Structure 1
Amino acid sequence: MKNLLTLIAILLSFTSLEAFAQYNRAAGQSAPKMERRVQFEDESGRIQERVDYVQPKRDEYGNAGGSQFDLAVDGAFEGQTVVVVQLYNFPFEQTRQALKQKGFGVYRFQGAPEIGEFKKALKKANQFWLISDAATHLSDAHVKEIKSFFDSGRGVYIWGDNQPYYADANVVGKALIGATMQGDLMGDQVVSMKEKKYQKSGIIPNLLLSTGIEMIYEGITIATIQPTDDLQPLIYGSAGNLVTAFYDKGGKRVIFDGGFTRLYNKWDTAGTGRYVMNAAAWLANYERFGDQVVGLKTETKKD
């Protein structure tokens, strides 16, 4: 044959990395590409193979379609539990289903739990998520348990929203990492990757947390994270305000977020489901705990 052969095989290389089996090969790439192997006939008539890198099919918002472009492999954290204290009431089912896709179960308290029950739940938890309200509900004893949990290396996600819906978020943020949020800005926009310094808005690309995310919905009305030396930016809103930041120091991890409306309003808008799954996978802190957090079975009851 003298002409190029037709494409014989397309091999998608985004299977699990051997060294980090819980992560997809796309880990750390906001705009991942697929590896396509093409066989062809060269001028001498010999069959050769080349590798092309092509963009995968995208969803309607411009993010790579398919769970192979999430940070973690589906089911990677089977048996791990996310303990949630939800102080502001809204439907949580979509978030729960997203976490389930990566293997996480959810043990959710609606309102501030009794301290003994809270301590018991945290002992079996992989990570803790707090969804704040307009008033403080957590006691000093709750905060002490959260701080101890954090100091042990287990991940914490602190969700607030526009003023005044960050009361306990600020209490816990201060106690753990000296972080606070404030204000009330209108958002309700989809932001893209923040690739240039002059761009005022967007998600910081090519982090584990932003794997597979080129476009993300910022939330409706949102708070602004107050920067500290230890916080790293993740999402800047359309107004240029810091909506989401993270702490990754000394083997301990926190995400601090001023837009919990993303968890229930316009869930199907750009990037939310993937972001939630990425966040939980990152907070599992495989880099510190290794196989202890992969597929570990617990006895914690899940809702």
Structure 2
Amino acid sequence: MVAITRAALARQLSSPYTTRTVASSTVSKKYTKKKKRTVKQRTSSSTISLPLQSYNEIAGKSNITDANGYDRYGNPTGREYDLGRDGAFMGFHILIAQFYSDAQFNDAAMQLPIDQLKSKGFQVTHVKTEDACITELASNYYQIAWIISTNQIQNSKFITALTAFHSTGGAIFLFADNTPYVCHASEFLRTKFGITLEGNYYGGKIMTFKENGHQQIGSFGEHQIFTGITNLFEGITICHPVYSTPTSREVFVTIATASDDNSSIAVYDPSPTSTEGRLCLDCGWTKLYVNWDSAGTARYIVNASCWLLGIS
């Protein structure tokens, strides 16, 4: 792990700006229904060219009353209301490990978030097997890994590989859904914090921004991840974290509470001196494909990815 300041963010770009997809067999689910810090950067062979200001001026502000326009959910329209500036993340790499797939959650569906990430400058690799994910995690090529859980872990080395990635500066976006489609995220959190994921709550509602509303039913509070969002879809089938100790609840912090009064989105933000990367947990990954166009989803997903880098 190498901690890199903005002045030191320089490497020789050696790979093209592409999205790679590795196909595999998948498990099918029957669907019925602002602090300053350095960038924790694992060694890679690419150039990272970070502009003086990677975030938009409204970073951290959800309730925007003077926007040029609003969508049908009441969120402001326009890229200037995102957390990250377009093109500001050139040279940063995201690995998307999609372990769940079905007729709806296919490559075409995943292309929607991939395209949004690319608009910010991210380079994206998309894999569908644990073996491919383990290989990519060990490459020192990625700053962020998305882990989209399914109902079983097939490779016993997976959690070890993911934990090593995180402990050496890799940031992780954990996606879970209803039980049993929580395995990868739940096992990592159990290993790291003593937290497990469970539940099959049928949500489908929209959470709203409230000042200091992190733990209020159906609400979310102030956080850079929610920049430009006053209304956010909670997902359809939703799990929730189960905390084994008070300490785990304090360290892995709820920033949004679903309509069942359980944590829906939670984050881990290590100290600036830590070698670990940031973490974000989303408990309803249906928003990635079934409701990508619903309230605030696209902006939230990309905002969270920008935040995970630890740039301010």
* Distance in structure 1 (CA, Å) of the matches to 2:310 and 2:267: 13
Which position in structure 1 is the counterpart of 2:83?
Answer: 71
1:160 aligned to 169, 176, 184, which one? Answer: 176
The CA deviation at 1:137 is 2.5
Aligned with residue 25 of structure 1, among 52, 57, 66: 57
For residue 12 of structure 1, what is the aligned residue in structure 2?
none
The offset of 1:136, in angstroms, is 1.7
Q: Give the secondary structure class of the aligned counterpart of 2:91.
A: coil
| Counterpart among 131, 149, 155 of residue 113 in structure 1 | 131
Q: Which amino acid aligns with 2:263?
A: L
- Aligned partner of 1:24: which letter? N
Q: Could you tell me which residue of structure 2 aligns to residue 43 of structure 1?
A: none
The one of 235, 242, 246 equivalent to 1:219 is 235
Match of 1:16 in 2: none
Instruction: Give the TM-score taking structure 2 as reference length.
Output: 0.74
Secondary structure at the counterpart of residue 286 of structure 1 = coil
Identity of aligned residues (%): 30
Secondary structure class of the residue paired with 1:134: coil
1:96 aligns with 114
Counterparts of 1:265-284 in structure 2, within 5 Å, are 265-284=290-309
1:117 offset after TM fit, Å?
2.5
Higher Rg of the two aligned structures: 1
Cα deviation, residue 275, structure 1: 0.5
- Please report the TM-score for the alignment, with normalisation by the length of structure 1: 0.76
CA gap of 1:199–1:171, structure 2 versus 1, over 3 A, is: closer
Contact 2:61/2:224 (8 A) holds in 1? yes
Deviation string, structure 1 residues 89-142 (Cα, Å, up to 9, x no partner): 123111111111111121111121247633444x10011111110112342x32
The question of 1:130 aligning with 2:130 is answered no
Tell me, in whole angstroms, the C-alpha distance in 2 between the residues paired with 1:179 and 1:203: 21
What runs of 5+ residues in structure 2 fail to find an aligned partner? 1-50, 244-248
Give the secondary structure class of the aligned counterpart of 1:226.
strand
CA RMSD of aligned residues (A): 2.1
Post-superposition Cα deviations, 1:189-220, rounded to whole Å, max 9, x if no partner, equal 11211336694111223x11110110000111
Structure 2 distance, partners of 1:138, 1:235, is 32
How far residue 150 of structure 1 moved from its aligned partner, in angstroms, is 1.0
Q: Is the 8 A contact 1:158 1:173 kept in 2?
A: no
Distance in 1 between residues matched to 2:56 and 2:74, nearest whole Å: 19
| Unaligned runs of at least 5 residues, structure 1 | 1-18, 34-53, 288-303
Contact 2:206/2:218 (CA < 8 Å) preserved in 1? no
Q: Name the count of aligned residue pairs.
A: 247
Q: Describe the shift of the 1:189–1:67 C-alpha distance in structure 2 as closer, same or farther (beyond 3 A).
A: same
1:248 pairs with 2:269: yes
- CA distance in 2 between counterparts of 1:271 and 1:199 reads 19
Corresponding residue for 1:232? Answer: 253
2:188 is paired with a residue of what secondary structure? helix
Distance 2:196 2:278 in 1: 16
Corresponding residue SS for 1:113: helix
